[in-house]
Amino acid sequence: GENVEQHPSTLSVQEGDSAVIKCTYSDSASNYFPWYKQELGKGPQLIIDIRSNVGEKKDQRIAVTLNKTAKHFSLHITETQPEDSAVYFCAASIRDDKIIFGKGTRLHILP
Amino acid sequence: DGGITQSPKYLFRKEGQNVTLSCEQNLNHDAMYWYRQDPGQGLRLIYYSQIVNDFQKGDIAEGYSVSREKKESFPLTVTSAQKNPTAFYLCASSIEGPFNQPQHFGDGTRLSIL
């Protein structure tokens, strides 16, 4: 069935370095790809999203890239800070049909 | 401030008991969603609603029921038929739906079995 695979499951980076999280989706009809950040005991919060007619989107230190041919999209966080420590989820959706979430990446920012 | 409020934050269920989780939004969003989150897992869709008095089953609807009598409210009932209800439950809404707009989440209800 349809699936979204997210890697890595855990990522530790030194403060100030970059972090990259990658997701691969199976349904080529997917056309909306959001990324959510979840802090402990809280609900997820949207940090950036991209639609299938765009290849890249950037918002300050956060960027997302989409490769429709390879069916993968990635989250890039530059100049990481302690407050970036959280669990990050990707998702792929098809309007009026479905949304599927990845299993999450726990990001640790090391001092 | 606009947002989504879930209550209670923690809930305990006895065997054979139905429990209802509350979800209220003041964002004037049309679409609302319920997800289940288990440790180390992504979010799995239980039910969603695009408009008042209409809702659809998600991927894991068995043992759950919902209602959408008001735009602002989308309560979830976990019935005794749900044999493994221990999980973190998240409610979300989007300006329209389903699925292709950013979702705003509440802070969840953690349900445990006594």
Query: Are A78 and A18 within 8 A, CB to CB?
Result: yes
How do strand B109-113 and strand B10-13 relate by DSSP bridges?
parallel
Question: Taking CA atoms, what residue in A is nearest to B40?
Answer: A103
On the question of pLDDT at A1 being above 70, the answer is no
Tell me the CB-side half-sphere exposure of residue A96, using CA atoms within 13 A.
0
Say which of B42, B102, B108 has its CB closest to residue A49. Answer: B102
Which residues on A lie below 8 Å from B105 (Cβ)?
36, 43-45
Radius of gyration, CA atoms only, chain B: 13
The whole-number pLDDT of residue A21 equals 98
Instruction: Give the pLDDT confidence of B29-85 residue by residue, as tens digits.
Output: 999 999 999 988 889 999 999 999 999 999 999 999 999 999 999 999 999 888 899
The whole-number pLDDT of residue B16 equals 86
Instruction: Using alpha carbons, select from B91, B107, B102 the residue that is nearest to residue B32.
Output: B91
As beta bridge partners, residue B87 has B111
On the question of pLDDT at B5 being above 70, the answer is yes
Q: Contact B42/A43, CB-based, under 8 Å?
A: no
Residue A32: what residue type?
Answer: Y
The whole-number pLDDT of residue B103 equals 96
Q: What percent of chain B has pLDDT over 70?
A: 99
**Closest approach of chain A CAs to the CA of B16, in angstroms?**
27
Mean pLDDT, chain B, whole residue set: 94
Cα angle A10, A11, A15 (rounded to 5 degrees) comes to: 145
On the question of pLDDT at B8 being above 80, the answer is yes
Instruction: Using alpha carbons, select from B9, B11, B4 the residue that is nearest to residue B114.
Output: B11
How do strand A10-14 and strand A105-110 relate by DSSP bridges?
parallel
Say which of A6, A45, A99 has its CB closest to residue B99. Answer: A99
Confidence class for position B98, pLDDT limits 50, 70, 90: confident
On the question of pLDDT at B1 being above 70, the answer is no
In whole angstroms, what is the distance from residue A5 CA to residue A71 CA?
11
Mean pLDDT, chain A, whole residue set: 95
Q: What is the 3-state secondary structure (H, E, C) of chain A?
A: CCCEEEECCEEEEECCCCEEEEEEECCCCCCEEEEEEECCCCCCEEEEEEECCCCEEEECCEEEEEECCCCEEEEEECCCCHHHCEEEEEEEEECCCEEEECCCEEEEEEC
Query: Are B90 and B35 within 8 A, CB to CB?
Result: yes
Q: What percent of chain A has pLDDT over 70?
A: 99
For A47-68, what is the mean pLDDT? Answer: 95
C-alpha to C-alpha distances, A76 to A50, A57, A59, A66, B78, nearest whole angstrom: 13, 10, 10, 11, 38
On the question of pLDDT at B99 being above 80, the answer is yes
Which residues on B lie below 8 Å from A10 (Cβ)?
none
